[in-house]
Copies of this chain bind each other. A is one copy, B any other.
């Protein structure tokens, strides 16, 4: 097909990558519930420790870590060590914008398809730790 994939799959593989490939790759980075959840949590707080994220998501540490690694690789988050813990935050406020706009679109779509939105409050097994008021982001 016309759309080359020869230059690699991240967004750093040389100058000649078409925008739509880079864009698709960005969406790939967002295309997992755990990663979306993490970004939502980070959108609502300046900086969150991995420990807190573990509590929030109920994930196994290595599993979360892999998803954080994906988010880092996509330059969506940045990590910083503070003494013994790692803290993550959004790399750019625009990441939160993207989630917000995605949500608006979803509202439209779900309205039309007769679905009801469910806030994150009633969700199975997401342990709500302090600071998380369950608001829909």
0/1 interface trace, chain A 14-42, chain B, CB 8 Å (1 if under): 01111111111111101111111100100
Which residues between 71 and 98 of chain A lie within 8 Å of chain B, taking CB atoms?
75, 91-92, 94-95, 97-98
**Copy count, this protein chain:** 2
Sorting the interface of chain A by its residue count into under 10, 10 to 19, 20 to 34 or 35 or more gives 35 or more
With A103-B19, A109-B11 as given contacts, are A1 and B34 in contact (CB-CB < 8 Å)?
A: yes
Q: Cα distance A1–B94 when bound, in Å?
A: 28
Point out residues on A near B: beta carbons under 8 Å: 1-5, 11-12, 15-28, 30-37, 40, 57-60, 63, 75, 91-92, 94-95, 97-99, 101-106, 108-110, 112-113, 115-120, 122-127, 136-137
9 closest A-B pairs by beta carbon, nearest first, are A2-B58, A2-B125, A27-B30, A94-B105, A28-B31, A27-B31, A24-B33, A20-B36, A20-B37
